[in-house]
Amino acid sequence: MRALVIDDSRAMRRIVSGILEGLGYETRQAGHGREGLDVLETGWVPDLACVDWNMPVMDGLQFVSAVRSNPALRSMTIMMVTSESEHTQIVRALAAGAHEYVIKPFTADAIRDKLALLGLLPQEAVL
Amino acid sequence: MKILIADDSRVMRQIVIRTLRQAGFDDHEIVEAEDGADALAKVGSEEPDLVLSDWNMPNMTGIECLQALRSSGSTVPFGFVTSEGSPEMRERAANAGALFLIAKPFNEDTFADALSGVIA
Amino acid sequence: MTTIDTGERRRGADTRPVITELIDEATVEAIAQEAWISLVGEDEVLVPLPGEPVADPLSSWVDVVGPWTGSVVLTTGRRTAEELTRALLREHSPEVLEDEDVADAFGEIANVVGGNVKAALPGSSGLSLPDVGDAPALRNPEDVCRVDLLWRGETVSISVQGALPPLPAH
């Protein structure tokens, strides 16, 4: 399974990619929403996109809106990554088409549990 | 006594003023603020004797305003008037230095109870 | 990164509750009734009966983010929202009501109802600032608790609705 990790923080990208690779994902990274769209436009369509909320150039909400208007990307599950101070805005991203969210700081288990619920674990997970 | 009322809802500020009067606290000067940042500035410029603040406001929340006041050394009496009145919120309010938390919906009796120790 | 225990695992992260497991219509009605008595007037009554469908709907809502995530949405006719605004403003009610006044008052009612719904939910949640406009769409028909009420004969409905899409069947 494939995942696209979009975050303007390289450290956060590494952490999230690390967690997903540990679960069996093949990952790619992007520094903001526009770069994320560029990756998708190459034809590499992931099963999952983990998207930061606050990014320059194109933020998480704008990315979600752009993706949801593209029928070719409807099968991609979008999980927002939000900080405590932004978290009450998360419903806006969900309404725009995101499927799930996780609040920083999060554990690898929190991500795994949400992916298990969504049926997005590459192998049988023992919960 | 000068009371600063902070709430992003003008309607709610008027309801608070009205309820203060109904609770018998009608001889006080009222100053209004429309968010936490405005409240913080007005504590400095108006020097109120009491702040009654909503929790959730744009620009700066009530709890952020209280934290900023306390860390700058202000001891102004501060209480919340908020739609979120759970034990957890009350604890957070008390830990930040609030004297009381009045939950919405409120009436003049709940106001009187909360404020009787604080204002005449 | 140090792993910080957010308690999510202990909260039973292998299930995602729908609102009907957490709150019932009677509780939402009671919350609304208390809000009306305090904000609209001591003698105000909300009757739990469906009314006429709303012709010119206006909604106000707050979002709740926590172990359950969704919105508490109030919907009524625009004229009724204006009456509610005048009732809240009482003697300060202007001759002509601005949209801003209605958004303020109707939003504040959603804030009070939503804040109390949030307090009735397990765990710790965040509450957004209120918003006013067209009702947010229903994301998951299984994740809704809705009450239809009559205020002064006018329809007011309150929908506590989840923001997460239904889980895929697997």
Tens of pLDDT, residue by residue over C48-97, are 998 888 989 999 999 999 999 999 999 999 999 999 999 999 888 888 99
Strands (E), chain B: 2-6, 29-33, 50-53, 78-82, 100-103
The sign of the torsion formed by the CA atoms of B44, B45, B48, B51 equals negative
Mean pLDDT of B42-63: 96
Sole residue written with tokens 């309820």: B19
Mean pLDDT of A115-125: 82
pLDDT on residue A85: 82
What digits encode the pLDDT tens for the residues A15-46? 999 999 999 999 999 999 999 999 999 999 99
pLDDT on residue C51: 84
**Is residue B69 situated within a structural domain?**
yes
- How many separate domains does chain C show? 1
| Interfacial C residues in 8-27 facing A (CB < 8 Å) | 8-9, 13-16
**Is residue C169 situated within a structural domain?**
no
ipTM over 0.90: no
Task: Reduce the DSSP state of residue B47 to 3 states and report it.
Answer: coil
pLDDT on residue C170: 55
pLDDT bucket at C3, cuts 50 / 70 / 90: low
**Is residue A69 situated within a structural domain?**
yes
The sign of the torsion formed by the CA atoms of C92, C93, C99, C101 equals positive
What span, in angstroms and rounded, lies between the C-alpha atoms of C146 and B102? 28
Q: What is the mean pLDDT of chain C?
A: 90
**Is residue C4 situated within a structural domain?**
no
Burial bucket for residue B99 (CB in 10 Å: 0-12, 13-18, 19+) = middle
pLDDT on residue C110: 97
pLDDT on residue A127: 46
What span, in angstroms and rounded, lies between the C-alpha atoms of B18 and A125? 59
- How many separate domains does chain B show? 1
Whether B53 contacts chain C with CB within 8 A: no
Chain C residues touching chain B at CB-CB below 8 Å: 34-35, 37-39, 85, 88-90, 92, 101, 104-105, 107-108, 111-112, 114-116, 118-119, 124, 127-129
In this structure, the strands spanning B78-82 and B100-103 are parallel
**Is residue B120 situated within a structural domain?**
no
Among the listed residues B61, B55, C2, C6, the one whose alpha carbon sits nearest the alpha carbon of residue A103: C6
C-beta atoms surrounding B104 within 10 Å: 26
pLDDT on residue B84: 87
pLDDT on residue C6: 52
**Is residue C151 situated within a structural domain?**
yes
Identify the domain containing residue B11 by its residue range: 2-115
The reported pTM is 0.89
What percent of chain A lies above the pLDDT cut of 90?
Answer: 83
What digits encode the pLDDT tens for the residues C128-141? 999 999 999 999 99
pLDDT on residue C105: 96
The answer to whether the beta carbons of residues A79 and A3 sit under 8 Å apart is no
pLDDT bucket at A12, cuts 50 / 70 / 90: very high
Whether A117 contacts chain C with CB within 8 A: yes
Please determine, for residue A78, whether its predicted confidence score (pLDDT) is greater than 70: yes
C-beta atoms surrounding C63 within 10 Å: 28
**Is residue B48 situated within a structural domain?**
yes
Identify the domain containing residue A97 by its residue range: 2-117
pLDDT on residue B74: 95
Residue A24: give its domain's CATH number: 3.40.50.2300
- How many separate domains does chain A show? 1
Instruction: Provide the terminal-to-terminal Cα distance of chain B, rounded to the nearest Å.
Output: 9
Please determine, for residue A125, whether its predicted confidence score (pLDDT) is greater than 60: no
Task: Reduce the DSSP state of residue A11 to 3 states and report it.
Answer: helix
Residue C35: give its domain's CATH number: 3.40.1550.10
Structure tokens at B73: 């050394």
Residue B101: give its domain's CATH number: 3.40.50.2300
Structure tokens at A73: 């990307």
